[in-house]
A and B are shown apart, each in its own frame.
Chain A
Amino acid sequence: MSNFYQAVNWNRQKRIYDTTLATGVLLYLALFTATTFALDPNATAETTLIRALGTCALLLLHLILCIGPLCRLNPSFLPLLYNRRHLGVTMFILALAHATFATIQFHALGDVNPLVSILIGSADARRVSQFPFELAGVVALGILFLMAATSHDFWLANLTAPVWKALHMLVYLAYGLLIVHVGFGALQSETDPLLAILLGLSLVLVLGLHLAAAFKERRLDGEMRTTGSDGYVEVCTVNDIREGRAKIALVSGERIAVFRYDGRISCVSNVCQHQNGPLGEGRIVDGCITCPWHGYQYRPDTGASPPPFTEKIPTFNVRVSQGRVFVDPKPNAPGTRVEPAVIED
């Protein structure tokens, strides 16, 4: 969390994350190269490098796509989410290097402009082996570039989180295009069944995790609420909420987070201003609601970030009666102070 922009707001966690990432990438590239030369003495350095970069980028993309649903299913994966954008930018750089070397190796040595050559290289979409898989890769790379270029908080704040997230959902289109790129490209000549099995299993893993997370979320949104005569909605009992934690509920078409802390109950929007993270899955730290994704903080009674930060989220009027928590479904303007409900003994 920062109240000004800088390229990377370094801290200890980010250094550990990025060091681990860089080490992992270098180790993978070295291992891939060594294994390739050990198994195939005729392998050329150029092709090996292109394949090492491509497979590394694809592996990272699978990891990136798994982090989101894993965190929805099990909060212990949240540390992976913290710096996921660095993972995404690294993946884009690897994909760009793969594309650059592949263009030089396979398209730049003829008498046709390399970019034109990519477009017309294999131009018979009716035949599987002639399918223009390069085009799928080029479009996917364009999407990944768009995402990497707008990954900074500057763009997140200026585009607003919903627009930014909608834009970054294009990653699923990019993923589909990359399955086409690999399936109709590398797997046409590399007939070792192990490669096809690995890609198939990765696909099943990504889709399976997303489906499991989606159904879990859908169950939560489908819970029925009772509305009292005063218009307040019964959300849960006080005992349903652990100290310093929250209960998430769907009220008036959007999720709210009901926090319990210091013998009181406060209710705020579940949506973090930063990246729309689920505040209700966070906890109270130093008297503030702390987003589990990137640590953005809000006071539970006002929904405002502590100074000098300026983020604000809507608050909700709340009351406790006979151990049950009731919330007014009408949100207050972001940053409006609401007197916390006191938990009766």
Chain B
Amino acid sequence: MIRRLRARHRVMILLLTPILPVILLVALVGRSPVPPTGLPRELADPRDPSLVPVGAEWTLLQSPRIQARFLARQGDSTPAAIVLDQIQQPTLPDLLLYWAETAGDSTTLPADALLLGPLEAGKQLKLPASNRGYLILYSLAHRERVGFAELPLVRSGP
């Protein structure tokens, strides 16, 4: 290698020697805590075997068409959970189901919205103690409300 290039090479290495370790250190020290993968325990597997179906099957949404069943404790007509059935494939990915006292508007969730879980057929989603309110299907990625329905008054027995 000719001397001029050798000198340039030496300068480059002398510059990189302090810079690169600092860059790596900054990257390692400044990294954010990684959120736990998966859903919180209460959302991940909220299946409660003591719950029994109450009321008739209910159409939560027409488009995409989503049917739902309510579950309640023995002798109690207040729904404690909801199970989504016959989910028509939605056009948006990763939809989430929320409960709120109000329906909110088309782009934002109400401040009191409570995440019930992902839109997934057969999954038991725990409802809050209040038997009134709205179920809201929301796309977090698109930040838009896909649909909503007011919780019906559920009666036990046929």
Interface residues of A (CB under 8 A from B): 128-129, 131, 162, 165-166, 169, 172, 175-176, 179-180, 183-184, 187-189, 191, 196, 199-200, 203-204, 207, 210-211, 214, 217-218, 221, 250, 253-255, 271, 276-278
Contacts and interface: CB of A to CB of B under 8 A. Distances in A.
A221 B16 contact: no
A159 B127 CA distance: 72
Given A128-B32, A183-B27, A199-B24, A176 B1 contact: no
B3 interface: yes
Contact of A203 (B8, B20, B32, B34): B20
Contacts of A218: 10
A129 B3 CA distance: 42
Contacts of A176: 16, 19-20, 23
A276 B13 contact: no
* A interface secondary structure, majority: helix
Interface in B10-67: 10, 12-14, 16-17, 19-21, 23-24, 26-28, 30-32, 34
Contacts of B23: 176, 179-180, 183
Given A129-B30, A200-B21, A207-B13, A276 B3 contact: no
A207 B5 contact: no
Closest 7 CB pairs of A and B: A183-B27, A128-B30, A129-B32, A210-B13, A214-B10, A188-B31, A276-B1
Nearest to B28: A196
B28 A183 contact: yes
Contact of B13 (A128, A191, A211, A271): A211
* B interface secondary structure, majority: helix
A151 to B, nearest CB: 17
Nearest to A254: B3
Interface residues of B, number: 26
Contacts, number: 88
Contacts of B10: 214, 217-218
B24 A179 contact: yes
Nearest to B31: A188
Contacts of B14: 211, 214
Contacts of A277: 1
Contacts of B129: none
B155 interface: no
Contacts of B143: none
Contacts of A276: 1-2, 5
